[in-house]
Amino acid sequence: MYDVIFLGNQLKEPSLTTLQVDPEALLSCRGRVGDFSLRYRDNGQVREEKTLALVANLDYEHEAGLAGFPTFIEDTQIPEEGNLIFIQDYGQLAPAHINRMGLEKALAAAKGSSSRQVYYFYRSLRFTEGTDDIYEEARQAGVAFFRYEEGKLKVEEPGHLTYNRGGTSMELEGQVLTAPLLSPSPHLEKLARILRLNPSEEGYLQEENVYLAPTLTGRRGVYALGGARNPNSLGGFEEEACYTLEEIAALKNDLQPLVEDEREVDDKKCILCYTCYRVCPHAALEENEEQDAMEVLQEACWGCNGCISHCPAVAISIVGEEEEEKKPGLQVLMCENSAVTARKKLPKNIMDGFISREISCACSLKKEDIYAYLEDSADRVLILGCFEESCKHLEGEQRGQRIVDEVNETLKSLDLGEERVRFERLSPPMEADMKKLLGRWREGQL
């Protein structure tokens, strides 16, 4: 059992046992934090290893910012003689870390030779990495900085540049070096599938969600570093790598489930349709071959109850939980990650006149329960949940929205009312919003 298996580049850390596995070689990943089982190809054989945690740390795919010209990343050899023209932000704004690399190279080039001229073209300089000093030094060393607007800079072979700004026009000769355009490694798609993660829109392993900062993924124990995340985060690599290793060491010391409740699958009802497996945003369900049924991996579970609400065979339940009494009336269902927190800052009587319930996430809504709450034509249901991309359970609020839309559409088609179920979004700090929403709901204005 290893502490960390690195998929991609390995970080050396003497107090943790680590292994490096080529992402190309990965075949499968089962299990959960504290007990992942990885199978991968190694010298023509298939090997299986267990690990506490997984870190995906890949390189980016990069292409030249300007076709035909070299980029100024680490491996590029800077020519010893002749003028140099650094160009960043061509086509795409270069992330802060790339800014830094460019400035460092420009500074080194200027210091290295007093006979050459070094030019630096940019659209926006980033100083979030403490690059102010490098910039100052570079200027003092004689690097000439030029800000340009998009479209006002033209580069022709073989290193001839035309620059226009505010009526001034310039022509320069020199070796052109550009900032690379970074894009996701081609391995990420396969890795996402094997690790059961939802890639971001751009194709990076880490979804863009506030709960995942800095290096977390939806699956506990699986971390994303470097090129597995979007390039904006490159500058924080060192700090975030340290944070990740420290958290893994903490988990090694003491691994507890994230939620107190235990969820169990009735193996007589489960028909292995795999709906829960697919719906779970945290990869917390797996087939238990002995029982011939799905099983909830308690340490991996984040407690959203999406599995419970989506299981078509009603096979999953919370241990010890009693069937709730469905009381019709004016309901308010509050997501524990947003609405409940906001409500705690308001006086208790704010809920007077409502039947209020706490829910784990909008994805735990069940159609059958919503219909049961609507017995009387005066009954309505208000769901207060999180904004898109700030849902703790990733696509949870989207699933909830779909359920609400489906219910409203059906009710409307049967002339049972319009918009009797409302899903309003809220954030924990906005108790003022909550107060207003509840007031309008009470008065039927929503």
Min dist. Cβ of residue 106 to another protein (A):
16
Amino acid at 318: I
Tally Cβ neighbours within 10 Å of residue 327.
12
Q: Which one of 19, 25, 64, 73 is in contact with another protein (CB under 8 A)?
A: 73
d(CA 353, CA 358): 16
List phi, psi (to 5°) of 106: -65, -40
If one asks whether residue 17 binds another protein (CB under 8 A), the answer comes out as no
If one asks whether residue 76 binds another protein (CB under 8 A), the answer comes out as no
Q: Which one of 80, 157, 254, 290 is in contact with another protein (CB under 8 A)?
A: 254
- Written as six digits, the tokens of 187 are 């391995």
Residue 32's H or E segment, with its range, is strand 26-32
If one asks whether residue 66 binds another protein (CB under 8 A), the answer comes out as no
If one asks whether residue 114 binds another protein (CB under 8 A), the answer comes out as no
Min dist. Cβ of residue 222 to another protein (A):
17
Which residues are within 8 A (CB) of 381 and not within 5 positions of it... i.e. 6 or more apart? Answer: 331, 332, 333, 370, 373, 374, 420, 421, 422
DSSP 62-116: EE-SSTTS-B-STTPPPPSSS-EEEE--SSSPPPHHHHHHHHHHHHHHHHH-SSS
| Span 164-203, contacts to another protein by CB under 8 A | 165-167, 180, 182, 200, 202
Burial class (CB in 10 A: 0-12, 13-18, 19+), 231: buried
> 337 near 361, Cβ under 8 Å?
yes
In 3D space, the residue among 334, 56, 9, 341 whose CA is nearest the CA of residue 218 turns out to be 56
Q: Which one of 319, 414, 418, 444 is in contact with another protein (CB under 8 A)?
A: 414
174 or 227: CB nearest another protein: 227
If one asks whether residue 15 binds another protein (CB under 8 A), the answer comes out as yes
| Span 325-354, contacts to another protein by CB under 8 A | 337-338, 341-342, 344
If one asks whether residue 226 binds another protein (CB under 8 A), the answer comes out as yes
If one asks whether residue 427 binds another protein (CB under 8 A), the answer comes out as yes
How many chain residues bind another protein (CB under 8 A)? 109
Q: Which one of 22, 149, 156, 173 is in contact with another protein (CB under 8 A)?
A: 149
If one asks whether residue 93 binds another protein (CB under 8 A), the answer comes out as yes
Q: Which stretch binds another protein (CB under 8 A): 5-13, 189-197, 289-297, 354-362?
A: 5-13
- β-strand pairing of 84-87 with 35-42: unpaired
Min dist. Cβ of residue 386 to another protein (A):
8
Min dist. Cβ of residue 157 to another protein (A):
26
Q: What angle do CA 255, 261, 267 make, to 5 degrees?
A: 100
If one asks whether residue 387 binds another protein (CB under 8 A), the answer comes out as yes
